[in-house]
Structure 1
Amino acid sequence: MTGLATALRVEAAAWRHSTVARLTTPLLVLLVPAACVGLVALARSGAIVGAGGAKLVGLGSADAATDQLVAAGQVLAVAGLMAGGFALAAAFGAPLADGRVGGWFALAVPRDVVALARAVVVLAWTAACAVAATVVVVACAATTAALDPGVAWDGGHWAAAGRAVVAGVLSAGLALPFGAVATWTRSPLATVGALVGTVAVTQVVVMLGGGAWFPWAVPSLWTGTGGDAAAAAVHGPALLLTAAVAPVFLAVLVGQWRRLTDV
């Protein structure tokens, strides 16, 4: 446990100073809330018509504060996966691609422990960004509600905020398989390709009606991206299956790095 604690401290410090974290953190924490407020404003303005308007119709069915919180869940369901996937591609694919990982074999801490610490740090960072983004959206929604005399902040708003947090954390966990992909392919670019491919496959699965049990589709559907009927089709077991992806692939990743010999 001492080795893991040391590795976590070192990896957390390294991640805080990494280019990926410095660029992506403000994008997640600030751009996601801006997108939520903007999407709700567009939906309520009626300026977007056709296919685009149909996709935004669900964001104009309640008061503006609730709609902003619902939008937060929908945006974070995708943003958490994409940010986490890109981060893991950089965290594991880049050292393998350029040979820097050879130094891991000389460390006192075993390389599988280092890999575990690195994955946990990236997962915690992605989840923390999702929580922080939701907090910003809550502040925006509370301001919106305060400016609307016909809206009182209540438990429904907190429930929507809680769903947004859960969707963001679930999507962060769904990115962990791409750490295993990066280790297997030894290529950040191939990992990003797998991430984009997964998003495309998810769309196909949803169109075929299997999204309620496909982990990478569950957060988006649960937050109402596919409409109320699709959200109602996502039950507790599907959410548990989605949550199980993170620990399963964390174990896979650790096993990969424990067996890694050819660098």
Structure 2
Amino acid sequence: MNGLLTALRVELLKFRLAPLVWLTTLSLVLLVPLISVGGYVLASTAPGTPTALKAQALMHGAGWEALYSLAAQVVAPALGLGVGTVASWCAGREFTEQTVVGLFAQPVPRAHIALAKALITLGWAAVLSLLAVGLVLLGGVLSGLTLHGSLPGAWKLLVMAVLVAVSMLPAAYVASAARGYLPGIGAVLGITVVSQFATALGGGAWVPWAAPALWAGIAGPVIAAQVSPLQLLLPALVGTLSIGALLHWWQYAELGNTRD
């Protein structure tokens, strides 16, 4: 336990001082609510403009349902890319910057270091999700919507965001196994493309990275109701397996061995 606490303190210090983390945080917290609420307001006040027509095409229902469906369209890909990129950086930066020797020389078990990286990334993603959803809720109220009926949709959007974040943890394992954060970012882009194609072909509910967004209503309430609890558990399963693989790799990896 002491080793894990030490690893958490050190990794948290590196995490909060990283420009990439701050840039990603500010981008997601500010741009996601701005695009979501701005699109909803334009669709409501200037329905004939080109931007409003594009926003209307992404919305389903009216009122809070419309706003949350548009927000889900924005949150899912933006958060997935952001969390996947940060997870890749967090797991692979020491290899890219060639400072990993110091980690291997520490008395702290390497599995604790890897777990600290995963926990800090997930904690950051959860706070980020809460802030983004809270600002969407606030923006909806400021745009004229009443609080009545707003909380169920906000809760659903928050659960979707957390599940999306958890499902991006494979990027951390790829970055570790490939010894650099760029392969991890490549995995994030590949996951995003696969998810988009699977959703377009009608099989997105069985894709861990697409199921939460479908459940949150990006394709309408009918498709959302068809997402089963089992399909919604897939992102959590992917995240759990990824953490297990990450810990195993870090515990038994050897410097200079490219075939771990």
Q: TM-score, normalised by structure 1?
A: 0.89
Asked whether the 8 Å contact 2:76–2:161 carries over to 1, the reply is yes
Within 2, Cα distance between the matches of 1:88 and 1:121?
9
**Helix, strand or coil at the partner of 1:262:** coil
Give the equivalent residue in structure 2 for 1:29: 29
Question: Counterpart amino acid of 1:21?
Answer: V
Find 2:147's aligned residue among 147, 153, 158: 153
Is the contact made by 2:58 and 2:73 (CA closer than 8 Å) also made in structure 1?
A: no
**Structure-2 separation of matches of 1:198 and 1:21:** 21
Counterpart amino acid of residue 27 in structure 2? L
How far is 1:48 from its partner?
5.2
Q: Is the 8 A contact 2:40 2:55 kept in 1?
A: no
Q: Does the alignment pair 1:247 with 2:240?
A: yes
Partners of 2:113 and 2:125 in 1: how far apart?
18
Match of 1:124 in 2: 123
CA contact (8 A) 1:40 1:60 kept: no
Deviates more, 1:167-176 or 1:207-216: 207-216
Which residue of 2 is the match for residue 228 of structure 1?
221
Instruction: Classify 1:56/1:223 alpha carbon distance in 2 versus 1 (closer, same or farther; 3 Å).
Output: farther
- Structure 1 counterpart of 2:94: 95
Q: Which residue of 2 aligns with 1:86?
A: 85
- Bigger Cα displacement from structure 2, 160-169 vs 187-196: 187-196
Give the aligned partner of residue 42 of structure 1: 42
What is aligned with 1:148?
Answer: none
Q: Say if 2:227 is the partner of 1:257.
A: no
Superposition deviation, residue 53 in structure 1: 3.7
Partner SS, residue 184 of structure 2: helix
Q: Structure 2 vs 1, CA of residues 70 and 260 (structure 1 numbering), >3 Å: closer, same or farther?
A: same
Q: How does 1:138-217 map to 2 (within 5 A)?
A: 138-145=137-144, 152-154=146-148, 156-217=149-210
Report if the CA contact (8 A) 1:58-1:227 is conserved.
no
Q: Distance in 1 between matches of 2:25 and 2:187?
A: 23
8 Å CA contact 1:20, 1:87 repeated in 2: yes
Question: In 2, distance between residues paired with 1:207 and 1:225?
Answer: 12
Distance 2:153 2:69 in 1: 6
State the Cα distance separating 1:5 from its structure 2 match.
1.6
Q: For the residues of structure 1 that align with 2:59 and 2:49, how far apart are their CA atoms?
A: 12
Question: Scaled by the length of structure 2, what TM-score is found?
Answer: 0.90
- Matched residue type, 2:131: A
Distance apart, 1:104 and its partner CA: 0.7
Count, aligned residues: 255
- The offset of 1:252, in angstroms, is 0.8
CA contact (8 A) 2:72 2:218 kept: no
Counterpart in 2 of 1:114? 113
Structure 1 unpaired stretches of 5+: 146-150
Separation (CA, whole Å) in 2 of partners of 1:219 and 1:225: 9
CA distance in 2, matches of 1:61, 1:245: 32
CA contact (8 A) 1:68 1:141 kept: yes
Q: Distance in 1 between matches of 2:54 and 2:31?
A: 23
Secondary structure, in 3 states, of the residue corresponding to 1:26?
Answer: helix
* Deviation sequence 1:16-70 (CA, Å, 0-9, x none): 11111121111111111101112213333334569x946733526312x443333
1:102 Cα offset (Å)? 1.1
Deviations 1:197-255 (A, max 9, x none): 11111122122321111111112211222233321221211111222221111111011
**Counterparts of 1:47 and 1:189, CA distance in 2:** 42
Say which SS state the counterpart of residue 107 (structure 2) adopts. Answer: coil
CA distance in 1, matches of 2:75, 2:7: 29
Percent identity over paired residues? 35
Letter paired with 1:219 = P
Instruction: Tell me which amino acid in the other structure corresponds to 1:46.
Output: P
